[in-house]
């Protein structure tokens, strides 16, 4: 799978305003790499899944602490999704007793809408997060001013959690 998503970033956003509130988490993990002199990469699937979830938990927890936010502040969360269950596992890992039943239901429901296109297209690597955002915008009932959380990830392991707010008249 390969693919791309094109976006226009401007000072006057018509869809969503990106916030300057990102939190990154990195650690050295050999889950997917190509050793020197080798033609093909090596993959450790279980380690990769665990590193992804850990990176999401760490970046989300730091974001929530640093910016005084909780899951109830978000209309939806979008994820880098090499396969759609990966993002769901990460989401499930933070939907604890501290999130109300309404918040859990809202985030699970919006996750399904956000991954409709990913389920159809498959893994497009870096573009998968933004395909998820497009899927959410086109398939879920959202309002201007809604805050969307976004989680970007790359093997190795680097994760970043950042946010956007939907612009007035974004549809």
Of 127, 125, 134, nearest to 76 (Cα)? 134
* pLDDT exceeds 70 at position 65: yes
Calpha distance 123→14 (Å, rounded): 27
User: Average pLDDT, stretch 20-46?
Assistant: 92
The pLDDT, as a whole number, for residue 9 is 87
Confidence of residue 38 (pLDDT cuts 50, 70, 90): very high
Tokens of 19: 């916030």
Question: Between residues 23 and 13, which one has the greater pLDDT?
Answer: 23
In this structure, the dihedral spanned by the alpha carbons of residues 65, 70, 74 and 80, taken in order and rounded to 10 degrees, is 50
Fold of 16-34+41-166: Peroxisomal Thiolase; Chain A, domain 1 (3.40.47)
- pLDDT per position as a tens digit, 104-126: 999 999 999 999 999 999 999 88
Confidence of residue 1 (pLDDT cuts 50, 70, 90): low
The pLDDT, as a whole number, for residue 171 is 72
Stated as kind and residue range, the H or E segment containing 50 is helix 45-67
Work out the percent of the chain whose per-residue pLDDT is above 70. 99
């Amino acid at each position: 799978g390969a693919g791309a998503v094109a976006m226009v970033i401007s000072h006057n956003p018509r869809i969503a305003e990106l916030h300057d509130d990102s939190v990154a988490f990195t650690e050295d993990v050999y889950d997917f790499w190509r050793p020197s002199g080798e033609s093909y990469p090596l993959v450790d699937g279980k380690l990769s899944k665990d590193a992804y979830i850990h990176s999401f938990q760490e970046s989300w927890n730091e974001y929530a602490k640093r910016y005084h936010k909780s899951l109830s502040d978000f209309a939806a969360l979008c994820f880098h999704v090499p396969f759609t269950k990966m993002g769901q596992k990460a989401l499930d890992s933070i939907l604890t007793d501290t999130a109300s039943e309404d918040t859990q239901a809202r985030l699970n429901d919006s996750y399904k809408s956000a991954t409709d296109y990913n389920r159809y297209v498959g893994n497009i690597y870096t573009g998968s997060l933004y395909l998820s955002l497009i899927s959410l915008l086109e398939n879920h009932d959202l309002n201007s001013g809604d805050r969307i959380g976004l989680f970007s990830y790359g093997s190795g392991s680097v994760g970043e959690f950042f946010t956007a707010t939907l612009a007035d008249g974004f549809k």
